[in-house]
Amino acid sequence: MSTVFEMSRDELLSLYNSTLAEYAECKAQNLNLNMSRGKPSREQLDLSNDLLNMHIDPSETRVDGVEARNYGELMGLPACRRIFAELLGVRYEEVFIGGSASLAMMYDIIAKAYTHGLLHSEVKWAKLDRVKFLCPSPGYDRHFAISESFGMELITVPMTDCGPDMDVVEELIKDPDVKGMWCVPKYSNPVGAVYDEETVQRIAHMHPAAPDFLLMWDNAYCVHEFEGDFAPFIDILGACREAGNPDMVFEFASTSKITFPGAGISCFCCSEANMAYMKKLWNVQIISYDKINQLRHVKYFGNASGIIRHMKKHAAIMKPKFDIVLDALTREIGGLGIAKWSRPTGGYFVSLDAMPGCAKRIHALCKEAGVVMTDAGATFPYKRDPNDSNLRIAPSFPPCDELVQAMQVLCVCIKLAALEKLLSI
Amino acid sequence: MSTVFEMSRDELLSLYNSTLAEYAECKAQNLNLNMSRGKPSREQLDLSNDLLNMHIDPSETRVDGVEARNYGELMGLPACRRIFAELLGVRYEEVFIGGSASLAMMYDIIAKAYTHGLLHSEVKWAKLDRVKFLCPSPGYDRHFAISESFGMELITVPMTDCGPDMDVVEELIKDPDVKGMWCVPKYSNPVGAVYDEETVQRIAHMHPAAPDFLLMWDNAYCVHEFEGDFAPFIDILGACREAGNPDMVFEFASTSKITFPGAGISCFCCSEANMAYMKKLWNVQIISYDKINQLRHVKYFGNASGIIRHMKKHAAIMKPKFDIVLDALTREIGGLGIAKWSRPTGGYFVSLDAMPGCAKRIHALCKEAGVVMTDAGATFPYKRDPNDSNLRIAPSFPPCDELVQAMQVLCVCIKLAALEKLLSI
């Protein structure tokens, strides 16, 4: 197949007309499909149904001297903290078990920076005229939304295949108004990049001008490979400690995409000095999070290996879906030179870069044909993609047959938008 | 029995010596008892053990079109919202189901006033030089701790048997720096007062100078009678609406002292205008709270009557404990004129006012004899009881036999402290 750039205008017109016909066929199907959010499918939810029916004997509710049914133990059940320490490679003392959503824990850390200041803050952020935050992009829209909600200035940092462009980051952090950075280090949302060792070490060794620089390390997909075995990762807390930056980082994880989204357990991890500071603040906010749900998860998994074994079942459901996405893209638009896309081995997304200026149009075309995609631009700060190029494909939720249909529509729309652009139609 | 004020110095000295001997006997028992927190007992926890072993079939997880096992439905399961609406007498649209702790929901509302402002705020509170908050006292130490943590100026308002002294309140709210008030309207912590209708109506009809005055209505004990039948209460949201103050109030409740403390469900309720505003902010913070736990509670109780029936079982456990406390006080110090105490019919506490200047001493004497009480002063802003008089007795947690012992110690200590004072020893 020739790329569109090798085609004559007549060839382009001919391709445009056939694509237009394909698009009409798509619309005629009256589809109602959704590839917009990283939401587990019904089949994935079914994997954890034993959590719905678990038998816990009242005699089992007292573990490590803590009664899970009553108030107390702010940092969570010790047994649960041990599992997350093992899973993330951090120390037991560095783990705080939170509620059912790590997003809420991230929000809370940011909120506390504003209302109380962080351990090394000279002044609480609410008193500052300007707070800037680094947003490697394409990135996670909900991270950016938190920053935006607090009135931060969001600074776009380009993503590479091995993490944020550290040359850019190291320059930007010389500005004392730059107070932190969002990171999804493994199977990053949406590009699926795994930060390589050099990038992680450069991050750990940063010398930000702000003494209270806040590295938000959202390890949302730490065990979420769908291809190959569990890929070990660097303990960012240890790396920062060894680099002389022990208090710079907060790491987050949850079981939302392991057991039940929004009904699992979450945690944050930080240095012991940060933890002592945060415990004082958190102690005002809550007596303890849901220890019964922590107990259920401890009983269900036993240890970190139990979680990794469980993730193999998710992988078996996810892999065919990513194959559908990648096969369709290769088959339908592979040779045309009108888009590039990621080929992740874990996580929840395929990131697609269409021809500049085409993403919004593709999104609209898809919508008109009954396929809902994540909003074009959503993966950038302020929902503004400077190139209007990036689209996030979330294949987890639809069943395979629907996904095949949705990808068919998407590929037609990518072609159509590109041809409209090339032909100035 | 004569009161101490009718006794001669010799009689006082004789009583002092016999009390000192009693105290020595108490200490010799090497007790280790705790009456410090409003924590349900093991027996009470056992009432809800069926929640540990509940069988939920996966086919039951989709209710009102919402899949409880997946992301979504920020305000919570409709079935759960309906139960709280019925229980609190508010409208369905006014109910937002939160996480496992209403304290955290209260903290969040206050935090949002600081970081984003409330619906009618002219400026977010973080930008203000001074925020004052009214604290009817004796009151709940954790409420005051939240206010203090945010740097508010805490203003003590005297409590009466029927609620906060409204003459004082109506004067104080003329100050635009006064931004809100903490209230526990039913079986208030710790005095056990039930706000009467006149007080509730005066509260609803307030005209605070601050346009964003925040009435924090913590209905923590709304169904927690241990004596007599369920006592209906006024819907504060409706009362404020009718008084032309619809957006002034946020009401809170939880199942922490109904099912499992810290592992139940909580809610906040507010006007629809407030809700629309809060939903926008909350949507940045979380996708939804734990809907599986909401489902468990819906299945367990069915409706508000189910909760009220369940509370009868708690009452059967609580009543004998309050009888032990009140009987001991009457028997041991009733005629001496050295203390007054509340006689609640619900809630978790007995509030005791010892002779001025004696509370800290009583607390210390108890501690020395192995009985831990809530810190003296804890029921006042900044933990400073201006009279050093109030003590909070929390009888729920210890078994009855331990409670008998603990009350014996407490009564001896109350006598001893009073006699030390009177004899200037």
- Domain check: are B397 and B416 in the same one? yes
CATH of the domain at B288: 3.40.640.10
Is B173 part of a structural domain of the chain?
Answer: yes
Measured between CB atoms, does B291 come within 8 Å of chain A? Answer: yes
* ipTM score: 0.96
Q: Which of residues 81-100 of B touch A (CB under 8 A)?
A: 99-100
Are the beta carbons of A217 and A255 closer than 8 angstroms? no
Edge-to-edge, what's the strand order for the sheet holding A178-183? A95-97, A266-269, A249-254, A214-218, A178-183, A132-137, A153-160, A163-164
Cβ B284–A149 below 8 Å, yes or no? yes
Looking at residues A339-368, what average pLDDT do you find?
97
> What is the per-residue pLDDT for A1?
67
Task: Please say which residue of B259, B276, B302 terminates a domain.
Answer: B302
Residues A212 and A335 in one domain: no
Does residue A84 sit in the same domain as residue A226? Answer: yes
Backbone phi and psi for residue B415, each to the nearest 5 degrees, phi listed first? -65, -45
The CATH number linked to B321 is: 3.90.1150.10
In this structure, is residue A271 part of a structural domain? yes
Q: Is residue B52 part of a domain?
A: no
What does pLDDT average to over chain B? Answer: 97
Q: Does A52 fall in a domain?
A: no
Last residue of a domain, one of B302, B326, B359: B302
Structure confidence by residue, pLDDT tens digits, B157-167: 999 999 999 99
Ranges assigned E (strand) in A114-221: 132-137, 153-160, 163-164, 178-183, 214-218
Instruction: List pLDDT tens digits, range A69-85.
Output: 999 999 999 999 999 99
Q: What percent of chain B clears pLDDT 70, i.e. is strictly above it?
A: 100
Kindly state whether residues A237 and A344 are assigned to the same domain. Answer: no
Whether residue B287 is found in the same domain as residue B258: yes
Residue A367: band (very low, low, confident or very high) from pLDDT cuts 50, 70, 90:
very high
**Same domain assignment for residues B129 and B264:** yes
Q: How confident is the model at residue A425 (pLDDT cuts 50, 70, 90)?
A: confident
- At residue A320, the pLDDT reads 98
**Residue B53 domain-assigned?**
no
Please say whether the beta carbons of B31 and B368 come within 8 A.
no
Distance, CA of B147 to CA of B152 (rounded, Å): 5
Residue B320 has pLDDT above 70, yes or no: yes
What pLDDT is attached to residue B350? 97
pLDDT for the residue B425: 85
- Tell whether A231 and A331 lie within a shared domain: no
Q: Which of residues 259-278 of A touch B (CB under 8 A)?
A: 260-263
Q: Which of A255, A272, A302 is the last residue of a domain?
A: A302
> A175 is written with which tokens?
């500005």
Beta bridge partners of B160: B163
Q: How far is A130 from chain B (nearest CA, A)?
A: 14
A71–B39 CB contact, under 8 Å: yes
Q: Flag whether B56 is in a domain.
A: no
* Triad B323, B325, B326: Cα angle to 5°: 65
Q: Are residues A264 and A361 in the same domain?
A: no
Q: Report yes or no on A55 lying in a domain.
A: no
Contacts of B361 (CB under 8 A, 6+ apart): B417, B420, B421
Report pLDDT digits (tens) over B73-132: 999 999 999 999 999 999 999 999 999 999 999 999 999 999 999 999 999 999 999 999
Mean pLDDT of chain A: 97
CB pairs under 8 A between A and B: 168
Task: Please report the pLDDT score of residue B365 as a whole number.
Answer: 98
Q: Which token pair is A57?
A: 């004997």
Strand partners, A252: A218, A268
Contacts of A157 by beta carbon, 8 Å cutoff, 6+ apart: A134, A135, A136, A137, A164, A165, A168, A169, A172, A181
Reduced to 3 states, what is the DSSP secondary structure of residue B82?
A: helix
**In this predicted structure, what is the pLDDT of residue B219?**
98
Q: For residue A86, what are the domain limits? A: 61-302
Whether residues B159 and B229 fall in one domain:
yes
Does residue B72 form part of some domain? yes
Q: Is residue A258 domain-shared with residue A179, that is, in the same domain?
A: yes
Does residue B1 carry a pLDDT above 80?
no
Domain identity same for A318 and A279 = no
- Residue A271's nearest CA partner among A194, A215, A207, A208 is A215
Residues 6+ apart with CB under 8 A from B204: B236, B239, B240, B242, B243, B245, B249
What is the reported pLDDT for B278?
98
Same domain, B375 and B399: yes
pTM across the whole model = 0.97
Mean pLDDT of A257-280: 98
Q: Tell me, what's the pLDDT at A303?
A: 97
Count how many domains chain B has.
2
A117-156 residues touching B, CB cutoff 8 A: 124, 126-127, 142, 145-146, 149-150
